[in-house]
Amino acid sequence: MDKVYGAYLCTGCGIGEVLDVDGLKSVADETGIAMQSHPCLCGAEGRALIEQDIKEKNVNTVVICGCSPRVMQKEFDFGAGVITVRGNLREQVAWIAGDKPEDGKVDEFLQELGSDYVRMAVTRAQKTALPEPYRLESISKRILVLGGGIAGLTAASEAAAAGYEVTLVEKDDKLGGKALGWRKMFPTAYPYDKLEEPSIGKLVAEVSGNERITVKTGTEVARIAGAPGKFNVTYKKTGQQSEWDAPARVTVDQQDLIAKGELEDPNKGLRPYTELNPEGELFGAVVLATGWTPAKIQGYEHLGYGAIKCVVTNAEFEKLAKDGQVPARVAFVQSPGGKDGDEDFPYCNAVTSMVALKQANYVIEDHPTDGQAYILYQHMRTPGHAELYYKAMQNRDGVFLTKGQVTKVEACGGGATVTVENTLLGDELHIDVDMVVLAAGMVPTTLNQPEVNLAYRQGPALIDLDLFDGYADSNFVCFPYETRRTGVYACGGVRKAETMEETMDDAAGAALKAIQCIESTNRGVAVHPRSGDMSFPDFFFQRCTQCKRCTEECPFGALDDDEKGTPLPNPTRCRRCGTCMGACPERIIGFADYNIDMIGSMVKSIEVPDDDEEKLRIAVFVCENDAYPALDMAGMRRSKLNRLVRFIPVRCLGSVNMVWIKDAMSSGMDGVLLLGCKYGDDYQCHFAKGSEIANRRMENIGETLGTLGLEPERCAVRQVAISDYDKVPAIIDEFVEEIVAMGPNPFKGF
């Protein structure tokens, strides 16, 4: 597009009180773009001013210097054909200024800060192109649901109710899953004090009779290829050996060695399967609802499981209860006790607490006169409405609950004696019972089985599940239901241990996410976390060296390899984080409105004084997801932010290409800081791996700086959460002090 620029400076919200407005306008003039000022651009008059220029002067690229780009987005949206770029002069300049100078003079450091943000905003506008959405030639709006238990049945039903065609695949020969073996289910209605009859039969009937739902029992997915909007799915009969069942993971280096014949393929010789539909069926999105399996109780010899006949797991006890074989005296052991103190059994949570209460109810229900149920726990968790059922069970005759450590289970006649220490009563208890029930946890099926069998370069399974003990989730707090594979949404037992009611809510959420993915793909825009983003990565393959860094580092498997080993983009898998762009040493990857040249030019537009040691300059690349909001909130609270730093927003720290740091240092910047999300076991990165990858790259850039005679400490990474608005000023000040102690960049002025 032929750009016609319009630049506008808002003087409201204190901006005009602490900054020289004419000075800022002259900065824009120097770039060749005339800037107008207005006391309230977000108001009716201010918007009308911009709209008039769009209409009469054909302005199609608008630069607004005022409040943060995180606010007033609707007010500054001028339609699909107009580029809007924002410069943050309010939260990150005017509101960090402190008190207004009594003499009316403008603070020199503050004015320089505002001027740099004007330059960067104009530069960004000059380097931005209007994104065009990526649209598939044809798209499937059908949804594939894997699993025919409560989660899968609910997801299928909800998607069908929304008007979408669904295929439900269940590996067993009938629908219903584990719920078919339940005697009763938890209360779902007020006053939440009585168990209910299972509703699974009704749910199975509803799904089986729904004309929008195709049910395939005794079937497993053999392979899922393609991408959102065009997943190609083939099936196989349950239990049939498949080359996709459990292949060994092969690294990129190993693939190269296999191709050269220098390494034997570890997957060679696996028997192929006979696909039920060799051509495959097309689907727009996938809901993973394959459930859970009972955790194995092992390593707890003092509990007697496997050695004492009357010691069973909660799953085994439920089967006995279903068949009416509940003994009169039962001890429910919620924690292994022994030397492990107050630790729980693996994969236990609130659900196992609720199961113990439910099964204790069976005991006193079947033995109204002599039933005795002992619940021995370290942690009793009954969240939400479940607390009402817990209180009801506390008041039931025959139910005894106490906190304590089970130190020994010994056979005694046809039953067992349970020894409990450190109880609430302060006594050691010896309880004679007919049966001991151990609270086995709920292990997600994704822990040991690929389940989805993806035909992705990175392998058939959902990756990095060890971060979540095998649960299929890539960002548990921020984006429920999502996985590291775009278009595949998890619910129920594969996402977390849940009650039936929670599972049904979860399944509805996953179904809605699948629908959102399909409709976003149809419009050619991104899904979470950059929902609605029309851009997608563009590759200049003529310069590609096939180093494979982009394919290896992409957190979401958006890149495969073609037959020549060149990266093969799958745009509808892409979450638009830009990690591939940050990975590429040849700098051949970019987005229409976010690319190497753009950010590099913004860095170079910052004015770096070369004759004043008090005016050091530090570039801070700021993640837009956590760090940038934290900075804005610090400004909103009028916290003082260091005036020597210049904040440059980036999509994710994973998108930071090391050339930007070299540009900053070569232009005379005295330091570079990357400010992003936490990584590691408790990571909060919206793009899963971005912060971790950036930290790894920065270790390498430190070595490069060392060879140039620059201190590696001039470049650093700091982690912040979105709630760290009160800490971020001190984090920045600490880094600035380190740079001040080192002195100016020796390359300054060259």
The CATH number assigned to the domain holding 374 equals: 3.50.50.60
Is 632 a domain residue? yes
Where residue 653 sits, what CATH number does that domain have? 3.40.50
| The last residue of a domain, from among 410, 438, 466 | 438
Q: Are 634 and 726 in contact (CB under 8 A)?
A: yes
- Determine which of 166-170, 423-427, 453-457, 512-516 has the lowest per-residue pLDDT on average: 423-427
Same domain, 170 and 279: yes
pLDDT, average across residues 361-365: 98
Looking at the fold, whether 354 and 457 belong to one and the same domain comes out as no
- Mean per-residue pLDDT for 86-115? 88
DSSP code per residue over 683-712 = ---TTSSHHHHHHHHHHHHHHHHHHTT--G
> In this structure, are 381 and 480 located in the same domain?
no
pLDDT given for residue 699 in this prediction: 85
pLDDT of residue 172: 96
Is 284 within the bounds of a domain? yes
Tell me what pLDDT residue 450 has. 59
- pTM, to two decimals: 0.91
Domain shared by 604 and 690, yes or no: yes
Tell me what pLDDT residue 97 has.
Answer: 81
Q: What is the pLDDT of residue 248?
A: 57
Residues 175 and 207 sit within 8 Å (Cβ to Cβ) = yes
Query: Inter-axis angle of helices 386-394 and 350-366, to 10 degrees?
Result: 40
Tell me whether residue 677 is in a domain. yes
Residue 741 lies in a domain: yes
Q: Return the percentage of the chain with pLDDT > 70, whole number.
A: 93
Backbone angles phi, psi at 49, to 5 degrees: -60, -45
Q: Do the domain assignments include residue 700?
A: yes
Residues 686 and 701 in one domain: yes
Which region among 71-75, 135-139, 252-256 has the lowest average model confidence (pLDDT)?
252-256
What are the helix (H) ranges across 555-605? Answer: 579-583, 596-605
Residues 166 and 152: their CA atoms lie apart, in Å, by 11
Q: According to the model, what pLDDT value does residue 299 have?
A: 86
pLDDT at residue 249, rounded to an integer: 55
Span 180-212, pLDDT tens digits: 999 999 999 999 999 999 999 999 999 999 999
pLDDT tens per residue, range 17-41? 999 999 999 999 998 899 999 999 9
Output the six-digit token pair for 594: 């976010």
The closest of 337, 343, 225 to 286, measured between CA atoms, is 225
Answer whether residue 298 is part of any domain.
Answer: no
The mean pLDDT value for 172-176 works out to: 97
Question: How far is the C-alpha of 175 from the C-alpha of 151, rounded, in Å?
Answer: 11
Mean of pLDDT values over 253-279: 69
Mean of the pLDDT values across residues 219-235?
Answer: 95
pLDDT of residue 335: 93
Helix residue ranges, H only, 371-499: 386-394
* Segment 265-274, tens digit of pLDDT: 776 655 555 7
Q: Are residues 432 and 376 in the same domain?
A: yes
Decide which of 438, 463, 483 is a domain's last residue: 438
Whether 181 is in a domain gets the answer: yes
For residues 118 and 9, state if they share a domain: yes
Q: Are residues 631 and 669 in the same domain?
A: yes
Same domain, 552 and 614: no
Residue 746 pLDDT class (50, 70, 90 cuts): confident
3-state secondary structure of 525: coil
Q: Residue 554: CB partners within 8 Å, gap ≥ 6?
A: 579, 580
Question: DSSP secondary-structure letter at 372?
Answer: E
> 371-411: per-residue pLDDT in tens?
999 999 999 999 999 999 999 999 999 999 999 999 999 99
CB-neighbour burial class of residue 75 (10 A; exposed 0-12, middle 13-18, buried 19+): middle
pLDDT higher than threshold 80 for residue 99: no
CB count within 10 Å of CB 55 equals 9
Q: Could you tell me whether strands 372-377 and 329-333 are parallel, antiparallel, or unpaired per DSSP bridges? A: parallel
Confidence at residue 468, expressed as pLDDT on a 0 to 100 scale:
65
Q: With CA atoms as reference, report the closest residue to 507 among 488, 486, 492.
A: 492
Structural domain ending residue among the three candidates 73, 103, 130: 130
- pLDDT for residue 685: 86
* pLDDT (0 to 100) of residue 703: 78
Segment of 343-347, 543-547, 664-668, 682-686 carrying the highest mean pLDDT = 543-547
Q: Which domain holds residue 59?
A: 1-130
| Percentage, residues of the chain above pLDDT 90 | 75
Asked if 245 and 343 sit in the same domain, the reply is no
Count structural domains, the chain: 5
- Whether residue 517 is found in the same domain as residue 544: no
pLDDT of residue 629: 96
Average pLDDT score over residue span 242-251: 53
Asked if pLDDT for residue 666 goes beyond 90, the answer is no
Taking only the tens place, the pLDDT of each residue in 450-505 is 568 899 988 887 766 555 677 887 665 678 888 889 999 999 999 889 998 899 99
pLDDT value at 141 more than 60: yes
Pair (78, 178) in one structural domain? no
Residue pointed to by tokens 């700091």 = 718
Residue 136: inside a domain, yes or no? no
Confidence (pLDDT) at 252: 53
Task: Give the span between the Cα atoms of 666 and 505, in whole angstroms.
Answer: 54
How far is it, in rounded angstroms, from Cα 332 to Cα 102?
Answer: 73
| CB-based contact 514:491 (threshold 8 Å) | no
pLDDT at 6 over 80: yes
